[in-house]
Amino acid sequence: MVDDIIPTVTEVNLTKDIPTSFKFLNHYKLISKIGNGHDGKVYLAENKFTGDKVAIKEITKLSKISILNKNPNLQINKIYNEINIMKLIQNDKIHPNITKLHEVLDDRTFNKIFLVFEYCNKYDLKFGASYPYTFGQLHHILTQILLGLEFIHGLGIIHRDIKPSNILRNNNEVKVTDFGISCTKFNQNLSSLGTPAFMAPELCTFSNESNNEEEIGTEIDIWSLGVTLFCLRYGRLPFRGNNEYELFNEIIYNDVKFDQSTIPNDNDENEKHNELEDLMSKMLIKNPKKRITLSEMKTHGFIKNGFASNDYKNFMKFNELYLFNDELKRSNSIPQKFKKLFVRRKSISSASMTTSTSAAISPTIPLSRPPLENTLSQPLIKQNKLSSSSNSLNLNSLLRSKKEVSNYLDDTTLFQNFDSDSDSGSSTDDDANSDNEGFYNDKDNSLSFRIGPKRTQSGFNVKTVNDYLDI
């Protein structure tokens, strides 16, 4: 069962050891507070039985925004969305470039819920004048994020909030974290769209007044990754504005400008610089249909030339272990994979002839894909690996329908839907800095401008006090 992947503890006890003054959350000793974000606090803790260090994310179930919007379910839906996304990600294998959720502490009598994640000892990525990165470091960070994104996109998941603070480092590993506003390709809730400065142009055009029915795609994560890479390289954001309206105009209409003062004199370094700028420019193309894809990024010069020959081969095949079973991995070409995935009509017909005597008591093998909406209405259950024995779809019939073939080629057959209503969340901690609450600023004051709060349905709606009081 999926529920067994990430266990939920429904009894939570907060105690204090008098001799040492340490607080305990069940069997986790709280050591120190290591983060304070919009959703709540993050603590460094230690499992007293194993000695392993973990990061415990404390989230308030009823946020200020939920109260002001008169919708108490906004915050709790975001929390459970993140939990469901993590269950989907950890359904089969634990990917090294995605943070692992160990367990959930959810006592119904508490107004807080605690998510116990693996601890990353080098914390999140920083950017600014005080945090220079070499081309080698940028290559290492980018390739590991790319593998993590390729994995979740293969599962049909769109992150929607890629930025430096959502990229963690644990020793030499780089991991993607914070799936609070993530969604699947099948269920896209646009009540929360991400952090404004990292949002793709196609997201900046969404508003309550516009009846835009276009679905967002994985291209928005590539844009956000391009902005993140720009921040690490140049220590600043590529698009800025005094308010959200100005910021969105910059993102939609202005081209990215690279800092020419960073051009190195060394020929080898200059070549890497040119390759990196070329890659970023392709990641930051306004039109999502013309934007570079993850597959194209993997063959780009900046990525490819940064590896030794054998290392590059391993990099290209890395996610096969996590997205395909052993039988599919041994296939050397796409036609061979499809031969194993789908049962040909001829073999099905011959099989039905030989078993005609038992047809009355045996169900007929379906020759067409079940309706998508019926599949999506099912509860979240553990997914089985694709195999020729469990998939009776016919390749020839699929080839006659481009629509159906594309659905299989984009890996959407691997997933099912679940509710992912989410909102931008808000910190309810009284000790948080009220001056900066709701805003994203550089922690080291490298950035002196304001780039705005996480956006809800429309950044242009302004509610007055009378609106909240129904006057």
What mean pLDDT comes out for the span 367-371?
40
Query: In the numeric block, which tokens belong to residue 430?
Result: 């009284």
Cα-Cα-Cα-Cα dihedral of 407, 412, 413, 415, to 10°?
-160
Q: Which one-letter amino acid corresponds to residue 70?
A: K
Average pLDDT of span 48-69: 84
Give the tens place of pLDDT for each residue, 205-227. Answer: 864 344 455 678 999 999 999 99
Across 178-192, 232-246, 300-314, least confident range: 178-192
Of 41, 157, 186, which is closest to residue 98 (Cα–Cα)? 157
Measured CA to CA, the distance from residue 177 to residue 159 in angstroms comes to: 9
Instruction: Give me the pLDDT at residue 192, please.
Output: 67
Across 113-117, 149-153, 174-178, 383-387, least confident range: 383-387
The Cα 103–Cα 290 span in angstroms is 40
Backbone angles phi, psi at 252, to 5 degrees: -75, -40
pLDDT of residue 38 exceeding 90: no
Q: What is the pLDDT averaged over residues 160-164?
A: 95
- Give the highest mean pLDDT range of 104-108, 283-287, 392-396, 410-414: 283-287
Q: 399: Cβ–Cβ under 8 A, 6 or more apart, which residues?
A: 405
Query: What length does the chain have?
Result: 471
Averaged pLDDT for residues 46-74 = 82
Number of helices and strands in the chain (H, E): 18, 12
Strand partners, 104: 8, 115
Contacts of 385 (CB under 8 A, 6+ apart): 92, 325
Lookup result for tokens 């508490």: 110
Contact at 8 Å (CB) between 203 and 457?
no
Provide the 8-state DSSP code for 283: H
Q: What is the pLDDT of residue 263?
A: 83
Contacts of 411 (CB under 8 A, 6+ apart): 153, 154, 155, 156, 323
d(CA 131, CA 233): 9
Q: pLDDT per residue over 181-190, tens digit each?
A: 898 877 766 6
The token duo for 379 is: 């509860």
- pLDDT of 66: 63
Q: Where does residue 37 rank: exposed (0-12), middle (13-18), buried (19+ CB within 10 A)?
A: middle
Question: In degrees rounded to 5, what are phi and psi of residue 387?
Answer: -155, 160
What domains, with CATH codes, occur in the chain?
2-118 (3.30.200.20), 135-322 (1.10.510.10), 325-353+364-414 (no CATH)
pLDDT, position 73: 76
Mean pLDDT across the chain, nearest whole number?
75
Rounded CA-CA distance 422/66 in Å is: 11
Least confident of 9-13, 76-80, 131-135, 137-141: 76-80
Are 121 and 171 in contact, with CB atoms under 8 Å apart?
yes
d(CA 351, CA 449): 69
pLDDT of residue 74: 75
Does residue 161 carry a catalytic annotation? yes
pLDDT tens digits, one per residue of 80-117 = 889 999 999 998 789 999 999 999 999 988 889 999 99
Predicted local confidence at residue 205, as pLDDT: 80
Tens of pLDDT, residue by residue over 397-412, are 444 444 443 433 333 3
Residue 396, pLDDT > 70, answer: no
Distance CA 336, CA 351 (A): 21
Q: Above pLDDT 90, what percent of the chain?
A: 48
Residues 471, 464: Cα–Cα separation, whole Å: 10
- Measured distance CA(135)–CA(141) in Å, rounded: 10
In the block, tokens 């939570």 appear at: 12
* Residue 447 confidence class, pLDDT cut points 50, 70, 90: very low
Task: State pTM to two decimals.
Answer: 0.68
Q: What is the pLDDT of residues 252-284, one digit of tens each?
A: 999 999 988 888 888 889 999 999 999 999 999
Catalytic one of 3, 4, 52, 161: 161
Residue 463 has pLDDT above 70, yes or no: no
Report for 27-41, 271-285, 382-396, 438-452: range of highest mean pLDDT = 271-285
Residue the block writes with tokens 């000793």: 29
- The single-letter DSSP state of residue 369 is P
Rg (C-alpha) for the chain, rounded Å, is 24
Q: Is the pLDDT of residue 164 over 60?
A: yes
